[in-house]
Structure 1
Amino acid sequence: MTTHPERVASPQSPTVPDSREERPISTTVQALRVAVLECQVAALEQQLEAERERRQAVVDRYERLLAER
């Protein structure tokens, strides 16, 4: 409590930690995040390769159709 000579004592506000402060992240959490990101990258790479193969198949089919004319 803070006291003032001419005023009534008033309680001090409690110290509340600032939620915006950087908190250290455990290495386990970091490793898990890295593993999740690696899995996401692998899935995206597979999707990219499948799309490349699909596009190549379209090009091949188009070229065959042109050759048949």
Structure 2
Amino acid sequence: MVTRPEQGATPQSPSAHSIQVPERSRKYSPSTLYQLEIAVLQHHVASLEAELERKEARHQAVVDRYERLLQRR
């Protein structure tokens, strides 16, 4: 199996994982490989969007908690 690390990946990011490309992938057409790459990138984008939503929700919870504390004063 051939592994290709994604460029710009950091150990903390999901993209740090290598994409496992089977040796037999050399038999696939460039179009098929391109479609596979698009699917992988779409999945990565969806993961990043979900992570962003979680972080925004946590941030909003902190803001809400802070505002409740201010109201009590």
TM-score of the two chains, using structure 1 as the length reference: 0.63
CA deviation profile, 1:37-62 (whole Å, cap 9, x unmatched): 00000000000011000000000000
Partner of 2:45: 41
Displacement of 1:27: 0.5
Q: Percent identity of the aligned residues?
A: 53
Partner of 1:58: 62
1:67 to 54, 57, 71: 71
TM-score of the two chains, using structure 2 as the length reference: 0.60
- How large is the Cα RMSD of the aligned pairs? 1.0
Q: For structure 1, list consecutive stretches of 5 or more residues without a partner in the other structure.
A: 1-24
4+ residue stretches of structure 1 with deviation over 6 A?
A: none
If each structure's helix is expressed as a fraction of its own residues, which one has the higher value? 2
Q: For structure 2, list consecutive stretches of 5 or more residues without a partner in the other structure.
A: 1-28
* Structure ID, larger Rg: 1
Structure with more relative contact order (C-alpha pairs < 8 Å, separation 6 or more)? 2
